[in-house]
Amino acid sequence: MSATGLEVLDRTWHKTHEWVNDLRDRLGWSSDRDALRLLRATLHQIRDRVHVNETAQLSAQLPIMIRGMFFEGWQPHLVPLRGHRASDFITAIEHHVGDMMEFRGQQDIITVLKLLNARISPGQINDIRGNLPEDIRALWPEP
């Protein structure tokens, strides 16, 4: 029996929790909220650095709730951003999550990228990585 009466909502709620719990465990953190916040910030920086078509294709493989967060605040006419350095990418993420007690910087961002490798098809990961500036791509382990 569905908790909400809407199976699609129950499935996406469950799938979102799977992603967040997986990331929290990979990070070794205690907070689901902080893990979700880091995932969101990292996804936003990826989204803003690739072309619109790649953004749409990546979003199709995200759970519906995470997909909604992924598109929150998106301004497609402003992408891709011009920041090509990995340091710009990391700094932008740190701006949104740097106050979290357990955040360890680049190490945790790479953990998010590894989660995406595990949860998104290798072909899509390779497409996204291939559309990122080389300096940022170097942060992202191959799937």
Please name each of the domains of the chain with its CATH number.
30-137 (1.10.490.110)
Three-point CA angle 61, 58, 13, nearest 5°: 35
pLDDT tens-digit readout, 84-138? 899 999 999 999 998 999 999 999 999 999 999 999 999 999 999 999 999 999 9
Q: What percent of the chain has pLDDT over 90?
A: 87
Supply the pLDDT for residue 4: 66
The residue whose two tokens read 């990961």 is 125
Cα 104–chain centre separation: 17
pLDDT tens-digit readout, 83-97? 789 999 999 999 999
